[in-house]
């Protein structure tokens, strides 16, 4: 075991976020009335982590540490950028709200812990390391959901999230143990050797349990029941952050497990993914149609979008593997900007669909931003969501498998299905009279800044999608 | 005979035979003892027998009542030291080989755990209210 400066460099983003995490907690506890200082410290932490990750990516840093169990490559760094970038906006959005709770330091520290867990997660190449990092990312998120003590829904959502999350973790762990039992090792390259050729029944059960556990975590149907309650109860910044950052990291690590750990079993897991994807898309969209509460609508919409990303997983076969990987990576980034923005608008315009009536008259900037997010979530070009879906469809077309063509068809059908509820909000904002009696929450300057920045990012995504695709191409997974 | 069979072909599946036999034995033993006790034991009930056993003392109050669980915070804090001990012992065994680097590594680890203690202390978790 050798410790070199290289390992410190590779772990720099994680070390930075750990240092800021501790600093935020200690400053918050030991300095009186320091909410502003704590929030700036947390935002700075997320930003420095982001810059550190970007520097590593820029210099093309690659390396394996801790006996091959931890790998820093372009793929991992890409997802770390998504995680730390969205954490920055989550901290901005949470700054004012959390100072009102009196526990700003704790809340912001929880965000940074999720960041740390999610960043470690995408670098893990060892099943038990993956489990540890996943728990590090999800245990703080239970607390984040239940943090709004003034609302009963928050406690209820937190409790449901905790119980289903713990069950999911145990299912996942059981799957991992079975895979470990079959492969005799928890490291992905060793597992790849055991998972070639025909699978033993135990290996198959392990694989299915593993995928089920991950399906819980990314709220894929039929494991999505916690999502609407958790996102409805959670503070807005928590819902915005948790629907984006840990999810992207979990998709990242699932991609790594499947492609590095069990490429030989691809015929099995692509079929599982195909069915999971179709069910998830339909359940998410059909339930979203019925919602009168924007939080619940966006929660079901996030279920549907998990389905779209899973469609790219189903396409990971034959020549389509590089495009499929690209699709997951680009979709995660596109989804991060548009969904986070849409959730944060709730902080400014309220969570009742009626509250959006005539928003264009009263607050044109906000209405246009929300319009951009909604159109992007539908997948209209040239907004970010379009490129995510375009890559998914491209990967599906290249896969040359009949089942995947069905999945691709379902993606198209579901994009049409989702139009009414996204455009219902747009119609309310632009063509309805203001309902009066504004109940809109006043989120403050930081939230508005986040919303407008994310809206701008959603619009100019077309300009950065080329470099992102190139980055994904050179990411090192494969 | 069965043991010989198992040693003959120590395949993975045959090892489950051990577990199966063991489970049968255990269930059988428990069932037998319970049934025997029911058959043999004389069932003479009395008030004194049904009373709550308080190490031989007579009970003074109703034990089913709410009481403050103050110590749960201490139990949580104990976890900090518990984790610390779990890592310190193996570290101490190989301390010589790790050298200065290992020393500072453990210092950092203890400091991070100390942050948890400092937080709890400042929040008043160590006060007995």
Under DSSP, is residue A187 helix (H, G, I), strand (E, B) or coil?
strand
Determine whether the interchain pair A25/B115 forms a contact, defined as Cβ–Cβ distance below 8 Å: yes
A17 contact residues in B (CB cutoff 8 A): none
In a domain, B65, yes or no: no
A3 contact residues in B (CB cutoff 8 A): 101
Of A314, A184, A319, nearest to A254 by C-alpha is A314
Determine whether the interchain pair B122/A22 forms a contact, defined as Cβ–Cβ distance below 8 Å: no
| Segment among A30-39, A234-243, A283-292, A305-314 with least mean pLDDT | A30-39
Residue A29: which of B101, B112, B123 has the nearest Cβ? B123
In a domain, B98, yes or no: yes
Of A455, A304, A478, A325, nearest to A391 by C-alpha is A325
Confidence of residue B26 (pLDDT cuts 50, 70, 90): very high
Q: Does B45 lie in the same domain as B7?
A: yes
Residue B12 has pLDDT above 80, yes or no: no
Residue to mutate among B94, B115, B126, with most A CBs inside 10 A, is: B115
User: What's the sign of the alpha-carbon dihedral A420, A423, A424, A425?
Assistant: positive
Rounded to a whole number of angstroms, the distance from the CA of A3 to the nearest CA of chain B is: 9
Residue A29: which of B101, B112, B122 has the nearest Cβ? B122
What is the rounded average pLDDT for all residues in chain A?
89
Confidence of residue A169 (pLDDT cuts 50, 70, 90): very high
Q: Does B45 lie in the same domain as B79?
A: no
A352 φ, ψ to 5°?
-90, 135
A29 contact residues in B (CB cutoff 8 A): 118-119, 122-123
pLDDT on residue A1? 45
Question: Rounded to an integer, what distance in angstroms lies between the CA atom of residue A351 and that of residue A339?
Answer: 15
In a domain, B66, yes or no: no
pLDDT on residue A443? 64
Residue B128 has pLDDT above 70, yes or no: yes
A25 touches chain B (CB under 8 A): yes
Confidence of residue A195 (pLDDT cuts 50, 70, 90): confident
Domain that holds residue B109: 71-122
Query: What letter would DSSP give residue A293?
Result: B
Q: Does B42 lie in the same domain as B78?
A: no
Q: Does B76 lie in the same domain as B110?
A: yes
| Segment among A43-57, A62-76, A103-117 with least mean pLDDT | A62-76
Say what the pTM is: 0.86
pLDDT on residue B9? 52
Residue A423 burial (CB < 10 Å; 0-12/13-18/19+)?
Answer: middle
Q: Does B86 lie in the same domain as B118?
A: yes
Question: Rounded to an integer, what distance in angstroms lies between the CA atom of residue A209 and that of residue A52?
Answer: 36
Residue B111 has pLDDT above 70, yes or no: yes
End-to-end CA distance of chain B: 67
Cα nearest neighbour of A28 on chain B? B119
Confidence of residue A97 (pLDDT cuts 50, 70, 90): confident
Report the percent of chain A where pLDDT is more than 90.
Answer: 60
Q: Does B109 lie in the same domain as B79?
A: yes
Residue A55 has pLDDT above 90, yes or no: yes
Residue A51 has pLDDT above 50, yes or no: yes
A29 touches chain B (CB under 8 A): yes
Residue B122: which of A3, A22, A30 has the nearest Cβ? A30
Residue A150 has pLDDT above 50, yes or no: yes
Question: Rounded to an integer, what distance in angstroms lies between the CA atom of residue B122 and that of residue B35?
Answer: 58
- DSSP string of B41-59, one letter each residue: S-----HHHHS--BTTBPP
Q: Does B75 lie in the same domain as B117?
A: yes
Report the percent of chain A where pLDDT is more than 70.
Answer: 97
> What's the pLDDT tens digit per position in A267-292?
889 999 999 999 999 999 999 998 88
What value, to the nearest 5°, has the Cα angle with vertex A90 and ends A106 and A382?
170
How many Cβ atoms are within 10 Å of A365's Cβ, its own excluded?
A: 14
Of B111, B115, B120, nearest to A22 by C-alpha is B115
B122 contact residues in A (CB cutoff 8 A): 29-30
Residue B4 has pLDDT above 60, yes or no: no
Determine whether the interchain pair A22/B115 forms a contact, defined as Cβ–Cβ distance below 8 Å: yes
A22 touches chain B (CB under 8 A): yes
Task: Give long-range contacts, CB 8 A cutoff, 24+ apart: A59-64.
Answer: A61/A9, A61/A10, A62/A476, A63/A6, A63/A7, A63/A10, A64/A125
Question: Rounded to an integer, what distance in angstroms lies between the CA atom of residue A271 and that of residue A313?
Answer: 10
Question: Rounded to an integer, what distance in angstroms lies between the CA atom of residue B118 and that of residue B98?
Answer: 28
Residue A478 has pLDDT above 60, yes or no: no
B101 contact residues in A (CB cutoff 8 A): 3
Count: domains in chain B = 2
What is the arithmetic mean of pLDDT over A359-364?
85
Domain boundaries, given as residue ranges, for chain A: 265-478
What is the arithmetic mean of pLDDT over B29-55?
86
Residue B63 has pLDDT above 80, yes or no: no
């Amino acid at each position: 075991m050798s410790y070199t400066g290289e390992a410190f460099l590779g772990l720099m983003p994680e070390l930075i976020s750990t240092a800021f995490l501790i600093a935020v907690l200690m400053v918050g506890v030991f300095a009186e009335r320091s909410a502003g200082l704590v929030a700036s410290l947390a935002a700075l932490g997320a930003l420095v982590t982001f810059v550190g990750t970007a520097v590593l990516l820029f210099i093309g840093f690659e390396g394996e540490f801790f006996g091959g169990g931890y790998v820093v490559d372009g793929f991992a760094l890409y997802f770390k950028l998504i995680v730390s970038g969205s954490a920055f906006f989550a901290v901005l959005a949470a700054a004012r709200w959390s100072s009102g709770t009196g526990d700003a330091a704790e809340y912001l520290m929880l965000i940074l812990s999720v960041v740390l867990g999610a960043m470690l997660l995408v670098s893990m190449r060892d099943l038990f390391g993956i489990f540890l990092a996943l728990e590090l990312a999800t245990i703080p998120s239970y607390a984040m959901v239940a943090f709004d003590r003034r609302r009963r829904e928050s406690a209820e959502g937190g409790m449901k999230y905790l119980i289903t999350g713990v069950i999911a973790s145990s299912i996942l762990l059981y799957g991992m143990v079975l895979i470990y039992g079959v492969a005799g090792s928890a490291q992905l390259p060793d597992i790849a050797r055991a998972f070639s050729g025909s699978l033993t029944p135990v290996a198959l059960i392990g694989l299915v349990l593993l995928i089920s556990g991950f399906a819980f975590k990314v709220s894929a149907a039929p494991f999505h029941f916690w999502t609407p309650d958790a996102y409805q109860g959670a503070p807005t910044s928590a819902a915005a952050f948790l629907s984006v950052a840990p999810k992207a990291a979990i998709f990242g690590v699932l991609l790594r497990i499947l492609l590095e750990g069990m490429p030989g079993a691809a015929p099995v897991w692509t079929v599982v993914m195909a069915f999971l994807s179709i069910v998830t898309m339909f359940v998410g969209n059909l339930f979203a149609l019925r919602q009168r509460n924007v939080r619940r609508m966006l929660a079901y919409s996030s279920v549907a979008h998990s389905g779209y990303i899973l469609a790219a997983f189903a396409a990971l076969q034959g020549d389509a593997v590089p495009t499929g990987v690209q699709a997951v990576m680009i979709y995660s980034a596109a989804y991060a900007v548009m969904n986070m923005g849409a959730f944060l608008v709730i902080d400014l315009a309220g969570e009742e669909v009626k509250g959006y009536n005539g928003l264009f008259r009263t607050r044109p900037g906000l209405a246009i931003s929300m319009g951009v997010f909604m159109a992007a979530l539908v997948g209209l070009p040239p907004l970010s969501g379009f490129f995510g879906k375009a890559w998914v469809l491209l990967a599906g077309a290249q896969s040359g498998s009949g089942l995947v063509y069905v999945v691709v068809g379902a993606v198209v059908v579901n994009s049409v299905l989702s139009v009414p509820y996204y455009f219902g909000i747009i119609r309310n904002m632009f063509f309805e009279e203001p309902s009066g009696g504004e109940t809109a929450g006043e989120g403050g300057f930081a939230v508005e800044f986040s919303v407008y920045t994310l809206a701008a990012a959603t619009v100019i995504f077309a300009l950065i999608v080329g470099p992102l695709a190139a980055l994904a191409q050179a990411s090192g997974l494969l | 005979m069965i043991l010989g069979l198992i040693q003959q072909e120590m395949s993975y599946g045959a090892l489950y035979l051990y577990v199966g036999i063991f489970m049968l034995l255990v269930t059988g033993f428990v069932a037998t003892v319970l049934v025997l006790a029911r058959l043999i034991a004389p069932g003479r009930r009395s008030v004194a027998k049904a009373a709550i056993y308080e190490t031989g003392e007579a009970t003074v109050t109703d034990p089913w009542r709410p009481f403050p669980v103050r110590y749960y915070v201490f139990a949580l804090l104990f976890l900090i030291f518990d984790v610390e001990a779990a890592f310190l012992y193996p570290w101490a065994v190989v301390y010589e080989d790790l050298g200065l680097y290992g020393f500072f590594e453990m210092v950092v680890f203890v400091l991070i755990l100390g942050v948890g203690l400092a937080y709890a202390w400042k929040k008043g978790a160590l006060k007995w209210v």
